[in-house]
Chains A and B, each alone.
Chain A
Amino acid sequence: MKKPVISGNRIVVPSDQEYLSDVDAFLEGTLRGFGGEESIIADIAISVSELVNNAMLHGNKSSEDKSVTVEISRVNGSVRISVSDEGGGFDPSNVADPLAEENLLKEVGRGLFIVRSLMDKVDIEATDKGTAIIVTKALRQS
């Protein structure tokens, strides 16, 4: 059975939500090492948990043969995090508006909206090998 693999500022986990806590521990440890504010670390941790969840469930369709890769880098006073899957990609314009009255009591569909709300920048890169979502956030409030 596959296990999480950590190499430098990168963690690769199988597509199983059991490993969400491994990603979180790795992420928060790295961000504290970067000197991030606790409230900002929490915002980043929430966002990355959303992206990893989406990558496992929607990107890799929970396939045990496919992994999710999270890479963290520090760029001046900000952190840049890439979450990539090995799935078929998705069209963000197809995501329903979670604020619409008819969607308010739906149990799913808010992940990307929350990421966009909490992060400074969100880029989506779709390739034939999968989807990578790259988020950027300042480590301290200006």
Chain B
Amino acid sequence: MRLTDREQGGVIILEPKGKIMGGPDASLLHDKLYECIESDKKRVVIDLAQVDWMNSTGLGILISSYTTLRNHDGELKLANVTDKIQSLLTITKLVTVFEAHDSVDAAIKSFD
């Protein structure tokens, strides 16, 4: 997995790319998230458009991001969830946990 980030309208957008399967992937996203929290940037969107697939480790990373932000009075939203990831969120019932939007812009607007 590769990870880039940008800021738009006061919201941090994290853009993972490739496959999220374990190993160094977890610390990469986790470290970036804590960097955001320490900079008092607690509105975060994870844009999943360029994630080929993820396994349960990837889902664990999303849950960790969600709970970490929530525990610091922040909020996490997902954008551009692909069919493959949507299917995993559905079978694991995590679709009931995450707020997902069809685009990054829609996710950003939802913070207002």
Contact B60–A114 (Cβ < 8 Å):
no
Residues of A within 8 A of B96 (CB): 104
Contact A18–B92 (Cβ < 8 Å):
no
Chain A at the B interface: mostly helix, strand, loop or mixed? helix
B83-102 interface with A by 8 A CB criterion: 84, 88, 91-94, 96-97
Contact partner of B22 (CB less than 8 A), chosen from A20, A105, A109, A110, is A20
B96 nearest in chain A by CB position: A104
Q: Tell yes or no: B41 within 8 A of A by CB.
A: no
Contact A49–B91 (Cβ < 8 Å):
no
Contact-residue bracket for chain A: 20 to 34
A74-99 interface with B by 8 A CB criterion: 98-99
Q: Tell yes or no: A53 within 8 A of B by CB.
A: yes
Q: Once the chains are docked, how many angstroms separate the CA of A107 from the CA of B84?
A: 19
A107-124 interface with B by 8 A CB criterion: 107-111, 113-114, 117
User: How far in angstroms is the closest Cβ of chain B from A14?
Assistant: 13
Residues of A within 8 A of B53 (CB): 42, 45-46
A7-64 interface with B by 8 A CB criterion: 17-18, 20-21, 24, 39, 42, 45-46, 49-50, 53
Q: Shortest 5 CB-CB distances between A and B: which pairs?
A: A17-B23, A107-B60, A110-B56, A49-B21, A111-B56
Report which A residues bind B (CB closer than 8 A).
17-18, 20-21, 24, 39, 42, 45-46, 49-50, 53, 98-99, 104-111, 113-114, 117
